[in-house]
């Protein structure tokens, strides 16, 4: 395996965006999982929901330059090269992850908009309510879809992490090291 100094890695902006988005997704999941531990109407519950929402908006904002960099720059080669089936599974998983990083925040924003609430970030209104009269039933359906997609992606994110560990510890290639 190439030495640390000579092995190919992703450029620093791509590595930073990867790990920042990872931390934000982790924060969003953490917040939504502790949200119900606090009484409805409490300041703590409201702050946890605000942190969840802020993390989601930040993910949406950061995934756009991340996608731009992904399509603009080739990925560094993996040493040793992957088998075609492994390459194919990796592409499917990454496509799913990027789709999730785009769709989940949009579903959250749509839910808030359909509830008739503004989209805010740190107390600033980014988007006033645009859809007129609230539709609580549709908002509830979107919230359920948002929750369902989030649950599915526990598994996809877990698969991504397990694959990185498999590459590093079993296959002993430099897949993981390219992102460090």
> In the chain, what are the domain boundaries?
12-179
In terms of C-beta density within 10 A (0-12 exposed, 13-18 middle, 19 or more buried), how is residue 132 classed?
exposed
What is the mean predicted confidence (pLDDT) over 126-152?
91
pLDDT band at 122 (very low <50, low <70, confident <90, very high): low
Residue 5: predicted pLDDT: 53
Query: Quick check: 45 and 107 in contact, CB under 8 A?
Result: no
Residue 170: predicted pLDDT: 94
Query: Quick check: 115 and 136 in contact, CB under 8 A?
Result: yes
pLDDT single digits (tens) 132-142: 789 999 999 99
What is the CATH topology of the domain spanning 12-179? Fumarate Reductase Cytochrome B subunit (1.20.950)
pLDDT band at 127 (very low <50, low <70, confident <90, very high): confident
Q: Where would I find the beta strands (DSSP E) of 30-176?
A: 119-121, 124-127
Query: What is d(CA 160, CA 156) in angstroms, rounded to the nearest whole number?
Result: 6
Mean pLDDT across the chain, nearest whole number? 91
Kindly state the percentage of the chain with pLDDT values over 70. 96
Query: What is d(CA 140, CA 134) in angstroms, rounded to the nearest whole number?
Result: 11
What is the mean predicted confidence (pLDDT) over 105-128?
87
**Contacts of residue 34, Cβ cutoff 8 Å, sequence gap at least 6:** 48
pLDDT single digits (tens) 15-48: 999 999 999 999 999 999 999 999 999 989 988 9
pLDDT band at 61 (very low <50, low <70, confident <90, very high): very high
Residue 1: predicted pLDDT: 47
Q: What length does the chain have?
A: 180
Q: pTM (2 decimals)? A: 0.88
Kindly state the percentage of the chain with pLDDT values over 90. 74
CA angle 42–53–155, rounded 5-degree value? 110
Residue 52 in this model has a pLDDT that exceeds 90: yes
């Amino acid at each position: 395996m190439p030495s640390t100094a000579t092995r190919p890695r992703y450029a620093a902006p791509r590595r930073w965006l990867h790990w920042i988005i990872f931390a934000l997704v982790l924060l969003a999941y953490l917040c939504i999982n502790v949200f119900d531990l606090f009484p409805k109407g409490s300041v703590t519950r409201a702050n946890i929901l605000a942190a969840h929402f802020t993390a989601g908006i930040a993910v949406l904002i950061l995934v756009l330059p991340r996608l731009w960099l992904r399509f603009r720059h080739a990925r560094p080669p993996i040493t040793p090269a992957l088998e075609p089936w492994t390459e194919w599974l990796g592409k499917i998983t990454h496509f799913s992850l990027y789709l999730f990083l785009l769709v989940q925040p949009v579903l959250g924003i749509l839910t808030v908009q359909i509830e008739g609430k503004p989209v805010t970030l740190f107390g600033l209104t980014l988007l006033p309510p645009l859809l007129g009269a609230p539709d609580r039933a549709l908002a509830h359906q979107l919230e359920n879809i948002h929750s369902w997609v989030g649950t599915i992606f526990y598994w996809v994110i877990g698969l991504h992490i397990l694959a990185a560990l498999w590459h590093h510890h079993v296959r002993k290639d430099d897949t993981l090291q390219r992102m460090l």
